[in-house]
Amino acid sequence: MEPVLNAHRLTKTYRTGSESVVVLQDVSFHVYPGESVAIIGASGSGKTTLLNLLAGLDLPDQGEIFLGPTQLNQLTENDRAYMRNRYIGLVYQDYQLLPHYTALENVLFPLEILRQTSGKKEKAQALLSKMGLSERYYHYPSMLSGGEQQRVAIARSIVTQPLILLADEPTGNLHREASDEITTLLFEMNKTLATPMVIVTHQMDLAMQCDRVYQMARGKLTPYIEKTLKPS
Ligand SMILES: Nc1ncnc2c1ncn2[C@@H]1O[C@H](COP(=O)(O)OP(=O)(O)OP(=O)(O)O)[C@@H](O)[C@H]1O
């Protein structure tokens, strides 16, 4: 089976003045159709940096990133933006909804960018309803709870039927109950739509529900092995 996303030997160093920080060192990573992959690691270990490279929001110093057959890091900024809008669903910790757009308008937005003409409204409404928000189409983000805003953001991320979903701390701003709801929704979608997902998270219970778990530390990405103390 071919991976949907294939990142090969990525290196990324940030330079500020005379200081330089090597954040990613020879990181390889792939995601296969339908699977869920978690990335855990201490604060500042480079998880968001890696996700931003995978989304084509930033470029590696070295290495290659393929989304399907397309090498993302060789495209122009405009072409990367097109690939991102068309093929990648992004979910952030702070939702990043447009504040002056209603829930429905936020979900419609990616379809407007892609100039989709038919069935947009029905598609967006159906997704919002699936997220339990059929009573919230015309609410603005400020009128929604954190969990509701994240559900709108998830609907927005999948309305274009992306090849992959990349989520950066999707439950990081939510209290326990809303966090569990969002986790359930993400895995339901992963199963029903078979959209593979990569989730950066500090929440081990969320990470452990994924098919594979990786850990970022000292610039390296390695498979995470749970340390369990078994009674002898
Ligand atoms: N644009 C930038 N310029 C300089 N340094 C940066 C930049 N972005 C990130 N860094 C540094 O790179 C390192 C990794 O940051 P990153 O945000 O990827 O970590 P993270 O694992 O996602 O952390 P957290 O869990 O706290 O979100 C940090 O030391 C950070 O200060």
- Cite the DSSP H helix spans in 88-175: 103-113, 120-130, 146-158
- Judge if the beta carbon of residue 21 lies within 6 A of ligand 1: yes
State the Cα–Cα distance between residues 201 and 203, nearest whole angstrom. Answer: 5
Q: Which residue(s) pair with 32 in the sheet?
A: none
Q: Are 5 and 30 in contact (CB under 8 A)?
A: yes
User: How many angstroms separate the alpha carbon of residue 48 from the centre of ligand 1?
Assistant: 7
> Three-state DSSP class for 23?
strand
User: How many angstroms separate the alpha carbon of residue 211 from the centre of ligand 1?
Assistant: 26
Per-residue pLDDT reduced to its tens digit, 85-119: 999 999 999 999 999 999 999 999 999 999 888 89
Per-residue pLDDT reduced to its tens digit, 120-143: 999 999 999 999 999 999 999 999
Q: Are 197 and 166 in contact (CB under 8 A)?
A: yes
Q: What is the pLDDT of residue 116?
A: 83
The atom of ligand 1 lying closest to the CA of 46 is 18
Give the H or E element holding residue 40: strand 36-41
Chain mean pLDDT for the chain:
95
Q: 230 pLDDT exceeds 60?
A: no
Residue from 19, 22, 39, 47 to probe ligand 1 pocket by mutation (most atoms less than 8 Å from CB): 47
Quick one: tokens of 179? Answer: 């966090």
Q: What is the pLDDT of residue 228?
A: 54
Q: 225 pLDDT exceeds 80?
A: no
Domains of the chain are: 5-223 (3.40.50.300)
Q: What is the pLDDT of residue 196?
A: 97
Q: Give the helix, strand, coil percentages of the chain, each rounded to 5.
A: 35, 25, 40
The residue assigned the tokens 């939702």 is 95
Residue 48's CB is within 10 A of a number of other CB atoms, namely 19
Residue from 18, 27, 48, 59 to probe ligand 1 pocket by mutation (most atoms less than 8 Å from CB): 48
Rg (CA), the chain: 18
User: How many angstroms separate the alpha carbon of residue 189 from the centre of ligand 1?
Assistant: 29
Q: Are 209 and 183 in contact (CB under 8 A)?
A: yes
Per-residue pLDDT reduced to its tens digit, 69-91: 999 999 999 999 999 999 999 99
Residue type, 87: Y
Per-residue pLDDT reduced to its tens digit, 178-193: 999 999 999 999 999 9
- Judge if the beta carbon of residue 44 lies within 6 A of ligand 1: yes
State the Cα–Cα distance between residues 107 and 128, nearest whole angstrom. Answer: 8
The atom of ligand 1 lying closest to the CA of 41 is 21
Q: What is the pLDDT of residue 34?
A: 96
